[in-house]
């Protein structure tokens, strides 16, 4: 509860991708520091919370929605898209089909969230299984570029790039806030702000300056 009382921004992030690509494993490693060889498939949506000090004096509360990849849960998971500031598009580097599904997941979210913006990160998971790789980095980077997203390869098992992935997305969302591309709104829960008055004034001044620079 103590940590929950001091955050300055809350970002809601949704995990997207086919079943068994490792979305839950990534979150469990990041939020709880644990890795389980076998995890139950997500039914509907699971929730995780993690606090991150993005810069000195700026605490971010990350609220994750871990969605089920199976089609039968899609009507449930779609209802969570609209209130997301960020989306992590996850595929299994050893599963070509999961990579080819990424555009479908991206399009589904984009069709649902308009007019609210969502910042995406493309994640190639299970990088520890290099010998079984079915998707090359250049190919994934090309897809990420077409989706206006950054790309990173991770492994929950070895803890490779897990923290870097979520920190990258958090920074992208924060940058969108500072530029005015994204902002807290009364009827949208993707971003919540608890900035003290002096920091709110500073953030608003920075946003005005960015607009003038454009």
- Distance in angstroms (rounded) separating the CA atoms of residues 154 and 156: 7
Per-residue pLDDT of the chain (214 residues; tens, 9 = 90+): 345 568 999 999 999 999 889 999 999 999 999 998 765 555 457 889 999 999 888 999 999 998 764 554 455 556 678 889 999 999 999 999 999 999 999 998 898 887 778 999 999 999 999 999 999 999 999 999 999 999 999 999 999 999 999 999 999 999 999 998 998 888 888 999 886 544 554 555 555 555 555 5
What integer pLDDT is reported at residue 147 of this predicted model?
A: 96
Q: Could you give the C-alpha distances from 18 to 24, 33, 41, 83, 135, in angstroms and in order? A: 12, 23, 11, 21, 15
Contact 135, 91 (CB under 8 A): yes
Q: Tokens at residue 120, please? A: 């995406």
HEC states along 31-55?
A: HHCCCCCCCCCCCCEEEEEEEEEEE
Predicted TM-score (pTM) of this structure = 0.85
- DSSP state letter for 214: -
Q: Tokens at residue 40, please? A: 């139950």
- Distance in angstroms (rounded) separating the CA atoms of residues 155 and 161: 7
CATH number for position 107: 3.40.50.300
Contact 17, 56 (CB under 8 A): no
What integer pLDDT is reported at residue 208 of this predicted model?
A: 52
Burial label, 214 (beta-carbon count in 10 A; 0-12, 13-18, 19+): exposed
Contact 39, 112 (CB under 8 A): no
Contact 75, 26 (CB under 8 A): no
What integer pLDDT is reported at residue 82 of this predicted model?
A: 81
> Phi and psi of 119, rounded to 5°?
-95, 125
* Adjacent-strand bridge partners of 185: 188
Dump strand ranges (E) for 102-167: 119-125, 150-154
Orientation of helix 23-32 relative to helix 162-179, angle to 10°? 90
What integer pLDDT is reported at residue 72 of this predicted model?
A: 46
Per DSSP, the three-state class of 204 is helix
Token pair 């998707």 is found at 135
The residue segments making up the domain with residue 155 are 3-213
Contact 102, 67 (CB under 8 A): no
What integer pLDDT is reported at residue 73 of this predicted model?
A: 47
Q: What is the number of domains present in the chain? A: 1
């Amino acid at each position: 509860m103590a940590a929950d009382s001091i955050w300055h921004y809350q970002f809601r992030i949704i995990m997207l991708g086919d079943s068994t690509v490792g979305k839950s494993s990534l979150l469990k490693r990041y939020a709880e520091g644990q890795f389980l060889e076998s995890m139950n498939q997500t039914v509907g949506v699971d929730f995780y919370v993690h606090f991150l000090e993005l810069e000195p004096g700026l605490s971010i509360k990350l609220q994750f929605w871990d969605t089920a990849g199976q089609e039968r849960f899609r009507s449930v998971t779609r209802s969570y898209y609209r209130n997301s500031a960020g989306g992590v598009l996850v595929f299994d580097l050893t599963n070509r089909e999961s990579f080819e599904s990424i555009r479908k997941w991206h399009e589904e979210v984009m069709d649902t969230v308009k007019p609210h913006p969502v910042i995406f990160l493309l994640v190639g998971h299970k990088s520890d299984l290099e010998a079984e790789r079915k998707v090359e980095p250049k190919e994934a980077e090309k897809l990420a570029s077409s989706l206006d997203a950054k790309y990173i390869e991770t492994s929950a098992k070895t803890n490779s790039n897990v923290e870097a992935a979520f920190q990258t997305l958090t920074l992208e969302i924060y940058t969108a806030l500072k530029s005015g591309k994204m902002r807290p709104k009364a009827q949208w829960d993707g971003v919540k702000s608890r900035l003290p008055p002096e920091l709110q004034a500073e953030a608003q001044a920075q946003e005005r300056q960015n607009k003038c620079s454009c």
